[in-house]
Amino acid sequence: MKKALFLLLGMLLIAGPACALELEYFKVYKPADGMSADEIMQIENFVKYTKCARDAQFEGKAYFIDKSGAVRERETTRVRITLGRKSDDIAYKDLVMFTAPTQVKGLATLTWTYMDPKRQQDSWLWVPSLRKIRKISAANGDDSFMGSDFTVEDILTRRYEDETYTLLGSENFKGYACEFDKKTYFQGAPCFVIEAKPKRSPWYYSKRVLWVEKNTGGGIYEEMYDPTGRMFKTIFKDYQIYKVDGKDYAAQVLLEGKDLRTGHRTVIINTKITFDKGLSEAAFTERALSESRW
């Protein structure tokens, strides 16, 4: 009996990873009916980090809006090169530069993300007040991303391997009424509804309920629940398709994060998005960071 149980457990362990897809970098994937929650979330993760594109550039603005309606702004340029290189384990490199307001202008962060999901990122910071590069420790996943309502994990570090998934169903999305531009997004869009639970425990959230749009593979809306089971945050992402050399790249155009406890909101709008411009990896080095003028 014991042997049979061990055999069954062994088969399940082997069968588990077999559910996962073997996604290749620089290809476009979309979720389809009949896929498991794991497969859908693998694609969602792939789309989120634009692994389909060799490089991407986002120029945008971030708005920090407090409960009273007071708004603070940041302007950033974000550049990414996707490598998926097994020789040195590098998945992609990001460079985020603040371009306004003046107080933070010039501040830039270079981040290397590794393919091994257990590895933390390597990060370097260009500090204008010191005129030097500072190697920095990886922020905790539950730290705020640039002071926004998104965590570092929401934007940068959450991997497919960090959670377990359950497919709750498939439905047409009820629509998201964006408070920032007063538009309603994705009304009636076919979505998978997935429950994601973090493997890490205790953690700042107990589960996320996520709507993954079938057309783009992007996680367009999620509700986050704290360890007591109370919803504390919602995140909306407007994904749009960009045609690049005949391929459909899904990109995040607008993000709205709401902290239901504080009433604070963050809106990120990417005003200019380009893909596959042939960026050189030399632009993602310490030397490139030190060439900053501001």
Partner 1 sequence: MRRCLVILLLLLCAGGAYANDQFSYSGYLQSEVSLRINHANGDLTKFKNIFQIAGQYKIIGDELVFFSKARYWYDAAYDLRDKMDIAQHYQGHVQRTDWLRDCYLDYTNNPWFLRLGKQQVVWGQSDGIAVLDRVNPVDLSEYWLPDMEYIRIPLWMANINYSPKLDSNLQILIIPDFEQSTSAAIGAPFTTYSYIRYDNWKKTVGGVDENLYFPGKNFENSTFGVQWSDRFADMNYTFNYLNGFYYSARNATIHLSGPYFGPFSYWKVNRSFKRYSLYGASFNKSVTNPGPLQGFTFRGDFAYYNDEPMYYGNPVTASSAGIKRWNNIMWVLGADRYVFTKWLISGQYGQYILQHSKPNDPRPQYNYILNPYTYGAMDPVENIFSLKISTYFLNDRLRPEVLWSFTDDNQGRISPKATYEIKDNIWLTVGVHYFYGHLLDSNGQYRDQDQAYMNLKFTF
Looking at the Cβ atoms of 42 and 157, the one nearer to partner 1 is: 157
227 binds partner 1 (CB under 8 A): no
Rule CB under 8 A: choose which of 73, 171, 179, 181 binds partner 1. 73
Shortest distance (Å) from residue 94 CB to partner 1: 15
Smallest distance from partner 1 to CB 122, Å: 5
Question: Is there binding between residue 164 and partner 1 (CB under 8 A)?
Answer: no
Told to check if 67 binds partner 1 by CB under 8 A, we report no
User: Is residue 291 within the footprint of partner 1 (CB under 8 A)?
Assistant: yes
How far apart, in Å, are the Cα atoms of 216 and each of 165, 189, 190, 192, 281? Answer: 19, 11, 10, 12, 28
- Output the smallest distance, CB 240 to partner 1, in A: 25
In the list 14, 130, 228, 243, the residue contacting partner 1 (rule: CB under 8 A) is 130
CB of 131 to partner 1, least distance (A): 5
C-beta of 284: minimal distance to partner 1 in Å? 9
Token reading at 208:
């996320």
Part in contact with partner 1 (CB under 8 A); list of ranges 97-105, 172-180, 244-252, 267-275: 97-105
CA atoms of 110 and 12, how far apart (whole Å) = 40
Q: Which of 162, 264, 274, 276 binds partner 1 (CB under 8 A)?
A: 264
Distance of CA 80 to the CA centre of its chain: 13
Of the candidate residues 72, 85, 183, 261, the single one contacting partner 1 (CB under 8 A): 72
Report the sign of the C-alpha dihedral through residues 263, 267, 153, 135, in that order. Answer: negative
228 binds partner 1 (CB under 8 A): no
Q: Between 22 and 201, whose beta carbon lies closer to partner 1?
A: 201
Which CB, 106 or 175, lies closer to partner 1? 106
Asked if residue 87 binds partner 1 (CB under 8 A), the reply is no
Cis peptide before 101 (omega within 30 of 0): yes
Residues 6+ apart with CB under 8 A from 109: 94, 95, 96, 123, 124, 125, 126, 136
Joined tokens for residue 263: 């009433």
Contacts of 134 (CB under 8 A, 6+ apart): 124, 125, 126, 127
Position 180 contacts partner 1 (CB under 8 A):
no
Is 120 or 164 the residue whose CB approaches partner 1 more closely? 120
Q: Footprint of partner 1 on residues 131-160 (CB under 8 A)?
A: 131-132, 134-140, 142-144, 146-149
Q: Between residues 75 and 276, which has the closer beta carbon with respect to partner 1?
A: 75
Residues that bind partner 1 (CB under 8 A): 64, 66, 72-73, 101-103, 105, 114, 116, 118-123, 128-132, 134-140, 142-144, 146-149, 204, 264, 266, 280-282, 285-287, 291, 293-294
